[in-house]
Structure 1
Amino acid sequence: MIEKDELLKPYSLDVASTLTALNATENGLESNEAQRRLNLYGQNKLPEPEGKSAFVRFISHFKDMLVYVLLAAAIATAFLGHWVDTWVIVGVVVLNAIVSFVQEGKAETALAGIRNMLSSRAQVLRDHKWDEINADELVVGDIVRLKSGDRVPADLRLMEATGLRIEESALTGESVPADKGTAAMATDSPLGDRSCMAYSGSMVSAGRGVGVVTAIGALTEIGQISRMITEVETLDTPLTKQMDRFSKSLAWVVLSMLALMLIIGVLFHGQGIAEVFMAAIGFAVAAIPEGLPTILTITLAIGVQRMARRNAITRKLTAVETLGAITVICSDKTGTLTRNEMTAQKVLTRCGQYDVSGDGYQPIGDITIADKKVVISNAPCLSALLEVVSVANDTHVIMENDEWRIVGEPTEAALRVLGNKASFDATGYVRLAAIPFESSNKFMATLNDTPSGERKILLKGAPDRLIERCKTELNANGATEVINASYWHQQVEMLGRQGLRVLAAATCVVPSSKSTLELSDLEQEMVFVGLIGIVDPPRPEAIAAISECHKAGIRVKMITGDHADTAKAIGIEMGIGNAETIKVVTGDQLEVASDEELQQLAGSCDIFARTSPEHKLRLVMALQARGEVVAMTGDGVNDAPALKRADVGIAMGIKGTEATKDAADIVLADDNFSSIEKAIEEGRTIYDNIQKSLLFILPTNGAQGFVMLFSVLLGLTLPLTPVQILWVNMVVAVTLALALAFEPSEPNLMSRPPRKPGTSIISAPFLLRVAIVSTLIGVLTMSLFAFELASGSSDAIAKTMALNALVLAQTFYLFNSRYIEVSSLSLSRLLSNKVAWLMVGTLLLLQLAYVYLPMMNRWFGSTPLSMTQWGICILFGFIVFLIVELEKYIFRKSKKA
């Protein structure tokens, strides 16, 4: 037995050589031999994926340097007997992990989606007779029979093919079923050109065939894609990377300051080590933004809800923000940029060239010439062509659940809809005989009685095959004349350059005594009628979305299994490039390119044709190697590995396979490319709001850290205890900071370029603001605490006032943070976010509980305050608001200078 990797490519061998290599015969295997191979090589199914347990996924949310510091602080407080502090710190850490775990949702199940594509039953030749068995019992060397409607159960080298056409778009990206035959192909033939192969998971759309199994399970083409998914390494998102760098930097700063506090407090001020250690823990708790993970998670979750309203369903939370950093969108063509509904767009006869309006399978549209609607009865050539394409047609278009769908083949459906748009009535025709479509002939013919009493042969198919069979053509007057073959070949080439798939039509009146139809009958008096140009039309909304992406500095690259000419024409029509500059790279070129050459091609070219799943994956990786943040869209199984590797994988929800949806981060509920543009806009808004949250939270923690650090360094009494600091952090985070998640989009959001990959989320002006506000609030808090103690107030009152001043200063600072540069001194701006005022009210209620409830007084050491003392705290907050607005004014002036 020969494994697939050892076997010569079966599509490059003739049938006899393939059978020999597989140690098989055209009479099939004996049952005992089949059982031996089954025991030796296993069943025809894909391996089960190894999933992470819920416990492992939950624990992963604790992998953060700041969390480690907090847990160490909790352990230290436990050793010192400060159990309230211990449980509050642990509770905060665990709560953040639970929120992140719940929002993240279920683990990926991409392989399950692929396994569902495999056939459950198969017709197999065993012991010299045909039998039906479970598909997972197939072995290499089995002879399998296929018919229309079957799902191919394994990779097959075809031995017989009669009118066999197989829908392979999920594997190849081709928008029409592939014609199949038995002739061997070149060894370097791409997947979409291997006409003598039938691949596992694809669907037989017409005809019948017989083939020998060349690969099963994980060794099939779909199995290779499955393996690629398991091997694809998912990358951290830009936000994840930035927050990881930020956490590590902050952790080292905190640890350094802890060491400094211990040294200064013990050696220089003679304080007890336990006292200084608690102060150091208080500093750690103060400086670390415990609520930040929760705020980030909630902000992203709100973005998920907003995107869902825009038909973008998010499976992975961090993908929401990553969308805002996208620099390149790699898009599959079929079903993503196009409708995946073949449409007749051009008709060319000797009467002229006609344009056909309307997209898809709905029978709405007009046939026009020179922008004037055609009267069919005045166009004999067009009338004859419509007769051929409507009558010599086995496909039906029906309305089901308010949606037009086809029963049959997409190409014939396009011709059927063309006849429907012209209101052609085919009900009076009676079919007497037919020659079905076969890949060797590339045409279909029928013998019909017409309503007028004539008997006709109606022929449609590949233009080159019909032109060579016709001696005459129908002229503009409806009469016949000698065919001008060179003219028609030129027209075929012209339509092909427009990205159209071209079919031809011919007809012939025969004696009423004729009742059979043979191939030889098609070489008699056939009259060439004209050509039909068919296209998988672009989505109009996708064209507009691509234009918007270009304005936002995002490049759109089309990756397709179609031929280069078709891909180029569609790319030009979509607005991806223009005819002068657009360049198409084929899968053959990608195959021989080195990694360095591939990176250059990926950066400079925007259309890639005749690609395989491996090519798509390599292209995504090449773009990422260039520093790009990549979104990959698709709907077929062949897109799944690239979707998983991309920074954001986007699947089509309606026409996408389950494997693609499960491999993706985002699923479009409406299969609309324009939803991607809206999702990117939402992603940018979310990033802005996360920046605003950081701009708000960091000075909050900075001020607390300032108070604790300088109290120890100066040998002063601590204004706040660690548990009081935790209270401030949590109530501010779940109220004030949360309000920033509801901020609307900034003006001209989609007119600015994507933020550069690797750019820090905290810029230099950002750090300056953090430093100024941290120092300002810290100094005011320490000054108020010292003033109260000097005035004879108790330690509890001084600490309660210091904490209240800290909270109210942050409340006022919230309104500064809602606009990073723009002034907040505007009534309309102050009132524009109703959630902000709701959160301020909630915070005040929490603070009233903190100050006046006896239970809170016992837990946190707080005490009731007078109205005068509240007024002093409010005044301190207002001073902070005015000073920050002055800083923003100075910054705006310096920026203009």
Structure 2
Amino acid sequence: MTAPWALTAHDVLEELEVPADGLSTAEAEARLASAGPNRLPLPPRDPFFKRLFGHLNDILIYLLLAAAAVKAIMGDWVDFSVILAVAVINTAIGMIQEGRAEKALDAIKGMLSTRAHALRDGTVSDVDAESLVPGDVVKIRPGDRVPADCRLLESANLQVEESALTGESVAAVKDITPVAADASVGDRTSMLFSGTLVVAGTGTAVVTATATNTEIGRIQTMISEAESLETPLARTLGRFGKQLAWLILGMGAFMMLVGWLVHGLAGRELISATIGFAVAAIPEGLPALVTITLALGVQQMAHRRAITRKMAAVETLGSVSTICSDKTGTLTQNEMTVRDVRTRTHDFHVEGGGYAPIGAITLDGAPVDTAAHPDLLAIAEVMGLANDAHIEEIDGRWQLIGEPTEGGVLVLARKAGVTGEGWNRLAEIPFESATKYMATLAQDPSGARHILVKGALDSVAARCTTQAGPHGVEPFDPEFWDQQVVELGSQGLRVLAAARLDVPADTGTLPEGGPTGLTLLGLVGIVDPPRPEAIDAIAEARTAGIAVTMITGDHAGTARAIAHEMGIIDEVEAPALTGAELEAMDDDELAGVVQSVHVYARTSPEHKIRIVRALQSHGEVVAMTGDGVNDAPALTQADVGVAMGIKGTEATKEAADVVLADDNFATIERAVAEGRRIYDNIRKAVLFLLPTNGAQSLVILTAILAGWAVLPLEPVQVLWINMITAVTLSLPLASEPKEPGLMNRPPRDPKEPLISRAFLRRILFVSVLIGAATLLVFWWEYNHGGISLAQAQGTAVTMLALGQLSYLFNCRFLDRSSITWDVLRGNATLWWSAAVLIVLQVGFLYLPFMQDLFRVEGIALREWGLTFGLAVVIFLIVEVAKALGRRNQRRAIRRG
């Protein structure tokens, strides 16, 4: 049908073919059979086997499984069991950390009303909301949750809380007047939307859409259709895994050809050696290492009030280049606050925020005594007495009972010392959207009576003939007050006017058509104030090279003023796009301007998703923060979705990757810093771990190419050293504190390889260094030490373990020298891990069942001394290489 908000109430009823007494029960049942129940369907979840395959879908896991299968065919069941166990453990870890974002759809379903008051067969009946159909006429009253999308037919002082859907910080005033067909959701004042809450007034409306055809249903559809994106680390590890897999296959094939054609090695021994080489080269401990590092990061973030629902989001936060944030309740406090009071002679500033009646009223920077400024006192009395809101302190927190704007001006009255004590309300005209003012007849403590009026300036001014001036009452000057409204509006403030009329002591009622002949007292400017900590966090984010973009349902002027105050934009005239302007753009046009625009106003859920996708088309890593269900689709689409934990809806929390337990935007900045630290530590751990694999594979490769009759390492021994070094020695690096200047560098490029050329050179160098030491120890001990093959192999494994332990100290500081006392301090986990490694290695060498399982024998003190001495030499040689690298880097900078 034609946009119902653009039609008159009569035309909507005609289009829906609704009689005056509502639908009959028979007609409603017929329409229900056609339209279906008014509920949101949940899409089926992927079956277990599909999710399992998703975690097995890794080329390095495929190589491990292939190696295990060959070992099974050869009858080497011990090797088969150990290799298979590694693959199963890694898959199980992946399954455990799997996110549950599909619960967002359950949470949205929970927002829907369960009952409704529908006009059926000429009688208002209480019916199940799921039975509503287009054409049903429903009654709405305060406290109701709107059961479906409806077009208003009648309304009386109707106000609806729509912030979860539109982002608006105050309740929307509703009436039956049609609006433009292209009006955004927040401007469709003749419509009620499913899942929103009626806070004041009553109304009658006709249902125009149910289930998935409602605005909230469209949001559900967008959540389910939002693309699932790989994290930067997943992409990086995926590329690295494929490159490593092809290298392993190529080198394995080359090794087999040389062993067979050049050295004439037997098939079984050659196959076993090739499997040993592959197992040595595959960093099977890497997935566990990454998982452990991320898990530790999750714990650290929880201590900082950021609850991580998906572990991968911890690392992705470190790559964030743009934070898109909702305004209401995220950047601002969602508590209306008076900032400015304008009279004919003074401009007062009001300090403090929220609903706590704490904060000075100042004039030219100095606190004022309200009693000395009767113009200020008069406005405070109107705002506090022509008011139906209440504030009270509960558990140390001031809370509002009533409408937010009324709460804001009530707090102004309390700050000015107006409590209402001794005053008596005799009559009132409640606020209505048609009149846009509220009037009360009140008696003061002396017995005098006054009419007090507050409301929109245009409505109040039309009833004024005079104004309060510096020397008493003077003729009304509309141009002066219009200019004040423009100035306040440019600061993002909403404006209310206050007026007053003294009446005879025997007056007992208010005029039927409303009061006239009023004296205008002045204006108040109201704002949903920014969070102070959010302002600091935005400044820190911009220092770190992270752009902050505000996406809100508010009007462009208000959004731009708030964005400028918060430091999101440098000039208040900076470009801002509205929802209507976004509608006129195609995706390519939006992508062309999206990186230069940081304020979006009057937006819908579709607009938010389009903005996020446009940023992602430029390679940006986007974090989206929000608290309303209207934010949920964009949170799902973003690389990292961040929800507010206190004021956020359940739908938003379930769609998010991270939930801020304190609703503090500053927490997101700390979470980004934590993400960067974690990625640094993953790089350190990879730089530490890969030389183990490199050294082991070089040992086996060199032995085959040289035609050695025995191998220095067995495949199960390779798995042992891989797992114990990954699980023990990598842990200290996961706990390393952040590097100095971490948040002064720009976000890393998601396309940047995990291993840079400099890192690759160091990995190759250390692999050769540790591999050469291991080959030397094995060759010397087996040929000249007078020990058995099992002991020589045990010595080789010990050399690898101690070589890795010494290299761990090199990796604590990637560039600066590790020959410092600092390398021994600041990370107690390092010493515990070293102790565990030694204990495990001793058990490996001397426990009988371990000797049988891994085919080794214990070694003497001589072998321990030899391997320890070579480990110290490895540490010193790596430090010399690091020093040469620093010198070359300084030379390159000077030449540049």
TM-score strictly above 0.5: yes
Alpha-carbon contact 2:845-2:859 (below 8 Å) kept: yes
Q: Check if 1:545 corresponds to 2:552.
A: no
Alpha-carbon contact 1:100-1:294 (below 8 Å) kept: no
What whole-Å deviation, never above 9, does each CA across 1:86-126 have from its counterpart, x for those lacking one?
00011111112222322335453111111111111111111
Alpha-carbon contact 2:391-2:399 (below 8 Å) kept: yes
Q: Check if 1:64 corresponds to 2:58.
A: yes
CA drift of 1:797 comes to 1.5
CA drift of 1:210 comes to 0.7
**Residue 104 of structure 1 aligns to a residue in which SS?**
coil
For residue 300 of structure 1, what is the aligned residue in structure 2? Answer: 294
**Residues in 2 aligned to 1:609 and 1:589: alpha-carbon distance in whole angstroms:** 10
Please point out which of 595, 612, 624 is paired with 1:620.
612
Q: Check if 1:770 corresponds to 2:799.
A: no
Q: Check if 1:604 corresponds to 2:596.
A: yes
**Residues in 2 aligned to 1:864 and 1:235: alpha-carbon distance in whole angstroms:** 50
**Residues in 1 aligned to 2:487 and 2:262: alpha-carbon distance in whole angstroms:** 90
What whole-Å deviation, never above 9, does each CA across 1:523-552 have from its counterpart, x for those lacking one?
2x2111110000000000000000000110
CA drift of 1:517 comes to 2.3
Please point out which of 511, 530, 533 is paired with 2:525.
533
CA drift of 1:379 comes to 1.6
For residue 565 of structure 1, what is the aligned residue in structure 2? Answer: 557
CA drift of 1:448 comes to 1.8
Alpha-carbon contact 1:388-1:507 (below 8 Å) kept: yes
**Residue 334 of structure 1 aligns to a residue in which SS?**
coil
After the TM superposition, which residues 231-630 of structure 1 pair with which residues of structure 2 at under 5 Å, given as runs?
231-477=225-471, 479-523=472-516, 525-579=517-571, 582-630=574-622
**Residue 412 of structure 2 aligns to a residue in which SS?**
helix
For residue 716 of structure 2, what is the aligned residue in structure 1? Answer: 723
CA drift of 1:848 comes to 0.5
CA drift of 1:449 comes to 2.0
Q: Check if 1:755 corresponds to 2:748.
A: yes
2:566 is matched by which residue type in structure 1? Answer: M
2:16 is matched by which residue type in structure 1? Answer: L
**Residue 335 of structure 1 aligns to a residue in which SS?**
coil
**Residue 515 of structure 2 aligns to a residue in which SS?**
helix
Alpha-carbon contact 2:101-2:656 (below 8 Å) kept: no
Alpha-carbon contact 1:430-1:448 (below 8 Å) kept: yes
Q: Check if 1:882 corresponds to 2:876.
A: yes
Alpha-carbon contact 1:380-1:476 (below 8 Å) kept: no
For residue 894 of structure 2, what is the aligned residue in structure 1? Answer: none
Alpha-carbon contact 2:101-2:654 (below 8 Å) kept: no
2:355 is matched by which residue type in structure 1? Answer: Y
For residue 649 of structure 1, what is the aligned residue in structure 2? Answer: 641
Please point out which of 717, 729, 745 is paired with 2:738.
745
For residue 736 of structure 1, what is the aligned residue in structure 2? Answer: 729
CA drift of 1:581 comes to 5.9
**Residue 756 of structure 1 aligns to a residue in which SS?**
coil
1:495 is matched by which residue type in structure 2? Answer: L
What whole-Å deviation, never above 9, does each CA across 1:154-183 have from its counterpart, x for those lacking one?
101001111111111111111011111111
Please point out which of 625, 640, 643 is paired with 1:633.
625
**Residues in 2 aligned to 1:63 and 1:658: alpha-carbon distance in whole angstroms:** 32
CA drift of 1:54 comes to 4.9
Greater Cα shift, 639-648 or 450-459: 450-459
CA drift of 1:488 comes to 0.6
Change (3 A) 1:95 1:147: same
**Residues in 2 aligned to 1:521 and 1:265: alpha-carbon distance in whole angstroms:** 103
CA drift of 1:832 comes to 2.4
**Residues in 2 aligned to 1:103 and 1:584: alpha-carbon distance in whole angstroms:** 40
What whole-Å deviation, never above 9, does each CA across 1:729-749 have from its counterpart, x for those lacking one?
011111001111000000010
Alpha-carbon contact 2:323-2:549 (below 8 Å) kept: yes
Greater Cα shift, 608-617 or 104-113: 104-113
For residue 873 of structure 1, what is the aligned residue in structure 2? Answer: 867
2:484 is matched by which residue type in structure 1? Answer: Q
What whole-Å deviation, never above 9, does each CA across 1:44-71 have from its counterpart, x for those lacking one?
1111232234554344221100000000
Please point out which of 853, 856, 879 is paired with 2:847.
853
**Residue 359 of structure 2 aligns to a residue in which SS?**
coil
Greater Cα shift, 338-347 or 395-404: 395-404
Please point out which of 152, 163, 170 is paired with 1:169.
163
Please point out which of 42, 58, 80 is paired with 2:36.
42
**Residues in 2 aligned to 1:513 and 1:108: alpha-carbon distance in whole angstroms:** 66
Identical residues among aligned pairs (%): 51
**Residues in 1 aligned to 2:298 and 2:619: alpha-carbon distance in whole angstroms:** 26
CA drift of 1:648 comes to 0.4
What whole-Å deviation, never above 9, does each CA across 1:17-54 have from its counterpart, x for those lacking one?
11121121342110111111112221111112322345
CA drift of 1:619 comes to 0.2
Change (3 A) 1:193 1:502: same
1:711 is matched by which residue type in structure 2? Answer: A
Greater Cα shift, 514-523 or 671-680: 514-523
CA drift of 1:432 comes to 2.1
CA drift of 1:636 comes to 0.6
Greater Cα shift, 827-836 or 549-558: 827-836
**Residues in 2 aligned to 1:452 and 1:110: alpha-carbon distance in whole angstroms:** 58
**Residues in 2 aligned to 1:85 and 1:514: alpha-carbon distance in whole angstroms:** 100
CA drift of 1:580 comes to 6.0
**Residue 143 of structure 2 aligns to a residue in which SS?**
coil
Change (3 A) 1:711 1:519: farther
2:847 is matched by which residue type in structure 1? Answer: L
What whole-Å deviation, never above 9, does each CA across 1:371-397 have from its counterpart, x for those lacking one?
222222222221111111111101111
What whole-Å deviation, never above 9, does each CA across 1:435-462 have from its counterpart, x for those lacking one?
1111111111112222221222111100
Alpha-carbon contact 2:728-2:834 (below 8 Å) kept: yes
**Residue 821 of structure 1 aligns to a residue in which SS?**
coil
**Residues in 1 aligned to 2:774 and 2:20: alpha-carbon distance in whole angstroms:** 90
For residue 686 of structure 2, what is the aligned residue in structure 1? Answer: 694
For residue 86 of structure 2, what is the aligned residue in structure 1? Answer: 92
**Residue 686 of structure 2 aligns to a residue in which SS?**
helix
Alpha-carbon contact 2:157-2:432 (below 8 Å) kept: yes
CA drift of 1:273 comes to 1.1
Alpha-carbon contact 2:377-2:416 (below 8 Å) kept: no
TM-score, length-scaled by structure 2: 0.98
**Residues in 1 aligned to 2:852 and 2:334: alpha-carbon distance in whole angstroms:** 68
Unaligned runs of 5+ in 1: 1-6
For residue 3 of structure 1, what is the aligned residue in structure 2? Answer: none
Aligned length: 889
Q: Check if 1:779 corresponds to 2:783.
A: no
**Residues in 2 aligned to 1:25 and 1:341: alpha-carbon distance in whole angstroms:** 43
Greater Cα shift, 509-518 or 334-343: 509-518
1:662 is matched by which residue type in structure 2? Answer: E
Q: Check if 1:158 corresponds to 2:168.
A: no
Greater Cα shift, 468-477 or 770-779: 468-477
Greater Cα shift, 431-440 or 47-56: 47-56
For residue 123 of structure 2, what is the aligned residue in structure 1? Answer: 129
After superposition, the CA RMSD in angstroms is: 1.2
